[in-house]
Structure 1
Amino acid sequence: MRILHLLASPFWSGPAENVALLAQAQRALGHEVTVAVDRKRRDVLSEEPAVPRFQSLGLLDEGGLTLSVKSSPWELWSDLQALRGRQVDVLHAHFTHDHLLTRWGTPKGAVRIRSIHAPRSLRASLPDAGAYTVPANHLRAKLEGRHRPVQVLPALVAPMFEPPKDRKALRRALGLEDTHLVGMISTFQESRRHAVGVEAFAALVRHRPEARLVLVGDGALLEVTRTQVSAHGLKDQVTFAGYQQGPAFAKWLQALDEVWILGLGNDWSARAAAQARACGVRVVAVKEGALPELADAQVDAPTVDAVLSAALSGAQATTEHPTNHRIASDILALYGQAEARR
C-alpha cells in the first residue's frame, strides 16, 4: 500500500513524533510510506524543525508539496495539482489545512483519512473523509453522526523508552539524589499547570520529606515557576533540568519514580504518559485526552488537594498499552474499512 501522511507543520512537536512512529511502523509492515510537512516556514528558531527529523528517518516526502498555512493562493493551487497527480492509495491528513487540501486534491482511487489530534478540530465544518481517528475514546461520539469508521489512534512509543538497567547509576550520572523523584515533563505554559504542581509538591514534602521534584522543559513561565519554588523554600529540593530531547529526554524520564501530567497541549494522545509507562514510571494525571486510559492514578480536578491525594494513593494501573506494531496494524485495517465503504 502507498501511504502519504500530510502534516502541515514545520515543527517536531505536537503530533509530529506520533506521525513519524506510525509511518515507521507501517513501513515495517511492508508498506510504502512518506510524510509531507511544511516546507515554507524555514525559520523555526523557537522549536525543533521537523524537516531534518523526518529526513534522517528516511520518511520525508519529496513530492514538491509546500503544505503550509502560510501558502499563497498560487502555492495552494500548485499543491492541489501535485496531489492530484500522485500515485497513492491513502492520503492521511493530520491537520485542518491538510484535510481541506485533500478534500479537493485527493487523486482518483485514493482514500482520504483524517486524524483529529485535539478537540478544537472537531467542528461542524469538518470536511468528509473515508474514516477518522481520534486521540481518546471519549471523542469517538463526536463523529458518530458522520456514519464513517472512527478509531482511536493511541500514542506510539519509541524503543528508547524502556525501564532503566540501573536507575541508581542513572541518577548519579544526572546529578540526582537516589530518593523518591517526582517529575513534570512539559513546556512551561499555563495549560500544563506547573503552578498547581509546585503547590502540590510543597504539600507532598510534608508527607514525604525525602521527595524531590524534577522539572524538565522550558517555556514562557519558566522564571515564574523558579520564583514560586524559591518562595516555598524548595530550591534545594527542585531540579530544573532544562529542555531535553531524544535519548537525553528518555534518561531523565527513566530516572523518575512518578510523573505528574496536569494538562495537555496540541496532542491529546498523551504521548508523555505512554512514554513514562514504558519506562516503568508511575503516572499521576488529570482527566484530559487519553490520560485516563494511561494514568495509574487519576486527578479528579486540577487542584492541589486532588494532585496530592492521587500521588499518595499508591494506585497502579494494570492495563497494557498497545505496541506500535499493533497500532499500525489497526490503522491499516481502518484504511481497509474506508476502502470497502466507497
Structure 2
Amino acid sequence: MTRILHVLDHSLPLHSGYTFRTRAILRAQVARGWEVRGITGHRHTAQGPLVEEVDGLIFHRTPGIAAEGNPLIREWRDIAAHADAIDALVRQWRPDIIHAHSPVLNAMAAQKVAKRHGLPLIYEIRAFWEDAAVGNGTGVEGSPRYWLTRQLETHAVRQADAVAVICEGLRGDLIARGVDPARIVVSPNGVDMDQFGTPVPRDPALTAKLGLEDADVVGFIGSFYDYEGLDDLIAAMPRLVRARPKAKLLLVGGGPREDALRDQATASPFADRIRFVGRVPHDEVEHYYAQVDVLAYPRKAMRLTDLVTPLKPLEAMAQGRLVAASGVGGHRELIEDGVTGTLFAPDDPAAIAQALAGLFAQRAQWDERRAAARAFVEAERNWAANILRYEPVYERLLARPADARAAA
C-alpha cells in the first residue's frame, strides 16, 4: 500500500481554505486506499500534542522553537527544524512519496529529506508565497524580499520531481519561468460533495434571528482579507438598496480587515442593511449558506487574484446558491458568465450593485443557473475525481530508481 507524507504549513483543527483543501485531499486519498499522514511546520499555532488525530487523519507537529531574531534568520532556522522533524518521521514511518505543499519553506525543508533518503518529491503550489504576502498586506510587489522569494520559489520548482498547481493561472506563470509543462499537473480546488453536496433547508428561526425575513439577501462567507474586496461590496450597498429596497448584506467570518469593515458599514447610510455574524463553526456554515440568495465574491484585481482560484465559490455552487464575482482571472477559471454565475468588473462598487440588482430582477432564471453551477462542480470540481490526477504522477515517480532520485 502506497504511503504518502504530506508536508504542510498548518492543518486541522485550525480552519482555513488551506486546511479544508488539505482535509479533502487526505480524506479522498484514504478512500482511494492509500496511507497518508501530514506534518506541519511552525506556522501551525494550535495547541495540541506532537502527534494528533483530527477527523480521522493523523498529523505530526514540528516542535516549537524561539521566535525571536531577524525574520530571515528565523525562517532559515524554521526550515532546518522542520527538515529535522520530517527526517525523523521518514525514518519511523517509511513513506513512499513526500508531497510538500506551499509555501516554499515547506518545499525547501522537504527537499533536503527527500534527497537524503532517495524519495520522490512532489511540490504543490496553492499560491506563490511572494504574491500571497502582497495580498495579505505583509509584502510589497517588486521589493527585494519579493524578488528573493520569487527566486526561491522558482528554484524549489526546478528541484522537485514533479509540480502540482491548483489552477491554470499558476501553471501558465511557471511555464513563463521556463518550467517544462510536462512536469506540471493541475489539481484544481474542489468540493467534498459528501459534505457540501446536500443543501440544508433555510432555518426560519435563524432567518428571524438575522433579520432576513422577506429580504433579497447578498452574502459573503469567508476570511476578511483586503484582496477579497469587501469594502467595495459594502460601498455598493447604497446603490443596490435604491434599486432593490429589500436588499440586505450578510457577512460571515472574520480576519484582518474586520474592524475597518465594521467601521465602514457603521458609516454607511444603509448600515441597518448590513449584518456581521462573525466566525461560525465549520459544521454550521451550511445553515448560513441557506440564508443567502446570492453569494458575492468581489475580489480586487492583482496578481494573487488573477493567478489563484478560490475555494468558496465552488462550495456555494455545491450548496445550490447563486454566485456573483469580480472578473479576475481566478474567478474566470471557475465561473462562466451568464451560465454558472455572474461576473462584474473588479474594484467597481457601481458594477457590483448593477450586477446584483440584475440577478434579483431575473428570478425566473435562478433554477437553471443553480442547476448548471452544481453540475459543473459535480463533473469537474468533485474531490473524489480530482485526486485521481495525482495517481499517474505518483506512479511515474515511484517507477524511477531511488539512486536516480537521490542524484537529481
Superposition TM-score, scaled by structure 1 size: 0.84
Establish whether residue 90 from structure 1 lines up as the match of residue 121 from structure 2: no
Unaligned runs of 5+ in 1: none
2:254 equivalent among 198, 211, 218: 218
2:128 equivalent among 116, 119, 126: 119
Aligned AA (2:19): A
Aligned AA (1:283): V
Distance 1:186 1:165 in 2: 19
Displacement of 1:52: 10
Name the structure 2 match of 1:129: 160
Name the structure 2 match of 1:157: 191
Distance 2:24 2:48 in 1: 13
Establish whether residue 146 from structure 1 lines up as the match of residue 179 from structure 2: yes
Name the structure 1 match of 2:140: none
Pair 1:197–1:102, CA change in 2 (3 A):
same
Pair 1:59–1:288, CA change in 2 (3 A):
farther
Distance 1:228 1:217 in 2: 16
Name the structure 2 match of 1:242: 278
Displacement of 1:111: 1.7
Pair 1:131–1:197, CA change in 2 (3 A):
same
1:302 equivalent among 347, 362, 366: 347
Name the structure 2 match of 1:172: 207
Name the structure 1 match of 2:55: 57
Number of residue pairs aligned between Structure 1 and Structure 2: 336
Secondary structure, aligned partner of 2:223: coil
Pair 1:74–1:335, CA change in 2 (3 A):
closer
Displacement of 1:4: 0.8
Pair 1:24–1:53, CA change in 2 (3 A):
farther
Secondary structure, aligned partner of 1:61: strand
Pair 1:228–1:61, CA change in 2 (3 A):
closer
Aligned AA (2:22): V
Deviation larger for 188-197 or 227-236: 227-236
> Sequence identity of aligned pairs in percent?
24
Name the structure 2 match of 1:325: 384
Name the structure 2 match of 1:16: 19
Aligned AA (1:311): L
Unaligned runs of 5+ in 2: 66-74, 131-149, 336-340, 360-364
1:290 equivalent among 323, 330, 340: 330
Do the aligned partners of 1:155 and 1:269 also contact (CA within 8 Å) in 2? Answer: yes
Deviations 1:184-240 (A, max 9, x none): 223333222221001112211111111111011223433332332233222321211
Displacement of 1:32: 0.3
Displacement of 1:288: 4.2
Do the aligned partners of 2:187 and 2:387 also contact (CA within 8 Å) in 1? Answer: no
Aligned AA (2:179): R
Secondary structure, aligned partner of 1:223: helix
Name the structure 2 match of 1:208: 244
Displacement of 1:117: 1.0
RMSD after superposition: 3.3
Displacement of 1:98: 1.6
Distance 1:60 1:259 in 2: 34
Establish whether residue 79 from structure 1 lines up as the match of residue 79 from structure 2: no
Do the aligned partners of 1:162 and 1:254 also contact (CA within 8 Å) in 2? Answer: no
Name the structure 1 match of 2:318: 278
Aligned AA (2:230): H
Displacement of 1:303: 1.0
Name the structure 1 match of 2:145: none
Pair 1:271–1:88, CA change in 2 (3 A):
same
The structure whose residues are more often helix, as a share, is: 2
Displacement of 1:163: 5.0
Aligned AA (2:155): S
Do the aligned partners of 2:237 and 2:270 also contact (CA within 8 Å) in 1? Answer: no
- Listed as ranges, the matches of 1:20-39 within 5 Å are 20-38=23-41
Superposition TM-score, scaled by structure 2 size: 0.72
Do the aligned partners of 2:4 and 2:99 also contact (CA within 8 Å) in 1? Answer: yes
